[in-house]
A and B are shown apart, each in its own frame.
Chain A
């Protein structure tokens, strides 16, 4: 997770919010750094995470998660942490997250889309009662009910669990549209996940979609616009309009939707620019890149 992004969002792993739908959106650039941020954020917060990873393999996410460390520790805190004088939580804070370890202790349920798709077509015969969540690829073509049931069973609290609120992370929904799922079925899947995760289990959902302002893909735009209406927080990573730049990789729009529960509230829009480094992402106000100052 990126400490600067936590500060911008006023979020902290100690007190994660509940019942929220966060939409990650990218245009002309790759917004998957936000997925890595939220994955390690919620794992560090002690939440049970169900990760539907349709785009990359497990090892990809694992390698990146291990890289994300708070490597910029203050010197005055570094030596005491070496000597073990700081509380244990802080030491864990400063390390990366291992997805393998999280999977073993049951905190992370990982659906590897690339492997499961393969199993649907070429795998051995499934046992009775065990349906592959990606069954829709071969059979119905569009019904995501089995995937919803997979999400629901993996996030249901079992007796021995001591995790905090459950979290569903999807990377990404545009792949489902490419696999032939109709946009209304994708929206139905997200609807039922909201019912189960946000409203019944008081958890969070984070979803990544790709979008393009002048795209001709109406189905994708329908999904994106519909999710914009439903989400509480939108993080929109855009490539710079002027093209590639070595020092500024893109611009991030943070839109906090005003809730309409008690009275009408305004949407808060903030825009920052960012630069992705090897182990960290730095955020700064527009035009204030370190290379310029």
Chain B
């Protein structure tokens, strides 16, 4: 199991499967370091999949059908994640939920572009792009400082009643300007604050730019989230020519505590419908696994023989080491003879000892 993150949030959501309106309540949690206390209450209920679900595609709905909580979409410079965020927005709208978008990074018309009319009807945009810091004093916008649980639920209350999805585009914008504990507390309290105003927040979708923050912060948010989707570019050759294939690494945390990880190639078609392109095959060899055995045999492919047969190997093993005192050596050393040094030679099996003097036939 992964080590506990620095801000430890404990949530236990138990819904009874038999009741239609089972509300899951979370216990108050305490943090390990004692400075942050976040209470997460997940209010959800099981509902049957409606008829409108088939149009979304089973790829997205298998894990959009989860209970609420924070869903994090993490992207990088190489591969943007906003199109995936818009896919989930379209899916939520098709399920009949009203979608409240708090947009800080792109103008409203750019966010609304590309959606079907039945999606844009359910989209309520809070404009945090035009004047988030109150420099120009334009009215009607959403200020960055207003992002608290009460501020958000106040905006939600202006929308229609019923299930609502909160979308943050992007969470990185908020994290650069507000301290992390405040943002985490706000994220945790939004469903509760909305419930006290009579609304039901099914999930919070947030876009996070992973390369703008230190890794510890990203890990903290990942541990807060119910599901995390990391988006990256897919290798060449996946999908057909017109698509833009991408790789999604999904991590889902169930209420039972089980963690599911899955990787899948996907692309996004016009109208923000997802299309699954299969899973990456695990047989792509990594660099460390290139055959080590072929490297360790330098005696192969030579024009001369470097190998030893068994008898040769045994003969080699039987050779006494230079510093090994055999009886002969000991006696010769002890003698300390004045005569010329003696040579002790022990021939092995391959030696061809010929006592004859080879220079005998020289006519000198």
**Chain A contacts to B: CB under 8 angstroms:** 145, 148, 184, 187-188, 191-192, 195, 199, 222, 225-226, 228-230, 257-258, 260-267
Given the complex, which residues of A lie within 8 Å of B130, measured CB to CB? 195
B307 sits at the interface (CB 8 A)? no
Which one, A148, A199, A264, contacts B246 given CB within 8 A?
A264
In the complex, what distance in Å separates the CA atom of A260 from the CA atom of B130?
20
* Chain A residues within an 8 Å CB radius of B105: 229-230
B8 within 8 A of A: no
Q: Known: A192-B135, A229-B77. Contact between A258 and B244, CB under 8 A? A: yes
| Most chain A CB atoms below 10 A, which of B131, B212, B269, B271 | B212
Cβ of A263 and Cβ of B211 under 8 Å apart?
no
Distance in angstroms between the alpha carbons of A188 and B105 in the assembled complex = 11
A145 & B244 in contact (Cβ 8 Å cutoff)? no
Considering only residues 41-85 of chain B, those with a C-beta below 8 Å from chain A are: 77-80, 82-84
Residues of A with C-beta under 8 A to B80: 229, 257-258, 260, 264
Residues on B with beta carbons closer than 8 Å to the beta carbon of A229: 77, 80, 105, 209, 212
The 23 listed contacts between A and B (C-beta, < 8 Å) are A148-B135, A192-B133, A192-B136, A195-B129, A225-B77, A225-B209, A229-B80, A229-B105, A229-B212, A258-B80, A260-B80, A260-B83, A261-B113, A261-B114, A262-B114, A262-B270, A263-B268, A263-B272, A264-B244, A264-B246, A264-B268, A267-B78, A267-B79
Can you name the residue of chain B whose Cβ is closest to the Cβ of A261?
B113
B 104-134 contacts with A by CB, 8 A: 105, 107, 110, 113-114, 129-133
- In angstroms, how far is the closest chain B Cβ from the Cβ of A203? 14
Which among A145, A187, A225, A263 is the interface contact of B83 at CB below 8 angstroms? A263
Chain B residue nearest in CB terms to A230: B105
Most buried by A among B133, B246, B270: B133
A202 CB to nearest chain B CB (Å): 11
Interface centre among A225, A257, A265 (most CB of B within 10 A): A225
Cα A5 to Cα B269 in complex, Å, equals 33
Contacts of A184 in B (CB 8 A): 176-177
> Nearest 8 CB-CB pairs, A to B?
A264-B83, A264-B268, A260-B83, A262-B114, A261-B113, A266-B244, A228-B77, A260-B82
Q: Is the contact region of chain A dominated by helix, strand, or loop, or is it mixed?
A: helix
Complex Cα spacing A258 to B129, Å: 21
Q: What is the minimal beta-carbon distance from A275 to any residue of chain B, in angstroms?
A: 28
Contact residues in A for B135 (Cβ distance below 8 Å): 145, 148, 192
Mostly, the B contact residues are loop
Q: Is B86 located at the chain interface by the 8 A CB criterion?
A: yes
* Closest A residue by C-beta to B85: A260
Q: Which residues of A contact B271 (CB under 8 A)?
A: 263
Enumerate chain B residues within 8 angstroms of A148, measured Cβ to Cβ: 135
B89 CB to nearest chain A CB (Å): 12
The size of the chain B interface, using a CB distance under 8 A, is 33
Residues of A within 8 A of B177 (CB): 184
Residues of A within 8 A of B212 (CB): 222, 225-226, 229
B161 CB, min distance to chain A CBs, angstroms: 31
Contact A262 B113 (CB under 8 A): yes
Residues of B within 8 A of A191 (CB): 132
Interface centre among A187, A195, A258, A260 (most CB of B within 10 A): A260
Q: Decide if B110 touches A263 in the complex (CB within 8 Å).
A: no
Chain A min CB distance to B125 (Å): 14
Interface flag for B267 (CB, 8 Å): yes
Question: What B residues does A188 contact at CB under 8 A?
Answer: 133
Complex Cα spacing A187 to B268, Å: 30
CB <8 Å contact, B77 and A263: no
- Contact residues in B for A199 (Cβ distance below 8 Å): 107, 129
Contacts of A222 in B (CB 8 A): 176, 212
The answer on a CB contact under 8 Å between B176 and A264 is no
A258 partner residues in chain B, CB cutoff 8 A: 80, 244
Residue of B nearest to A227 (CB): B77
Chain A's nearest CB lies how many Å from the CB of B117? Answer: 15
Q: Say how far A222's CB is from chain B's closest CB, in angstroms.
A: 6
A164 to B: closest C-beta gap in Å: 21
**In the complex, A267→B232 CA distance in Å?**
12
Contact B244 A187, beta carbon cutoff 8 Å: no
